[in-house]
Amino acid sequence: MQSDPDLDLAFAALGDPVRRALVTRLARGEATVGELGEPFDLTPQAISHHVGVLRRCGLVEQRREGTRRPCRLRVDRLTRLSTWIDEQRRAWDDRLDALEEHLAGPEATR
């Protein structure tokens, strides 16, 4: 089975609860690193680190707006993750359906 480095990075990034919370917050709209850090008992450097991980895997982008650097979620990247999950779910549903048919035996098809 071939690995997809982009998916690997994104899922690894989302393995951290702080980064998942940041993604959840950014789903509501843009925010600066300072705004993202408000609900956490973490240093600004720690929040910047988490944002950097999300940026490197492509889930978040940051732009300059004068002195502000708002972050925004890249929904297209989340859609790619969701598509992969849906494909896996469909494959497992198909496997489980086939197993159910096999276990039911020939009597079930009559």
Structural domain count, the chain:
1
- The answer to whether the predicted template modeling score (pTM) of the entire model surpasses 0.85 is no
Q: What are phi and psi of 66, to 5 degrees?
A: 65, -120
Q: What is the pLDDT of residues 22-80, one digit of tens each?
A: 999 999 999 999 999 999 999 999 999 999 999 999 999 999 999 999 999 999 999 99
For residue 71, the SS3 value is strand
Rg (CA), the chain: 20
Asked if residue 89 is part of any domain, the answer here is no
Give me 103's structure tokens: 């276990």
Asked if residue 101 is part of any domain, the answer here is no
CATH code of the domain containing 64: 1.10.10.10
Write out the residue range of the structural domain in which residue 21 sits: 5-77
Spatial distance between the Cα atoms of 32 and 86, rounded to a whole number of angstroms: 32
For residue 16, the SS3 value is coil
Asked if residue 18 is part of any domain, the answer here is yes
Asked if residue 26 is part of any domain, the answer here is yes
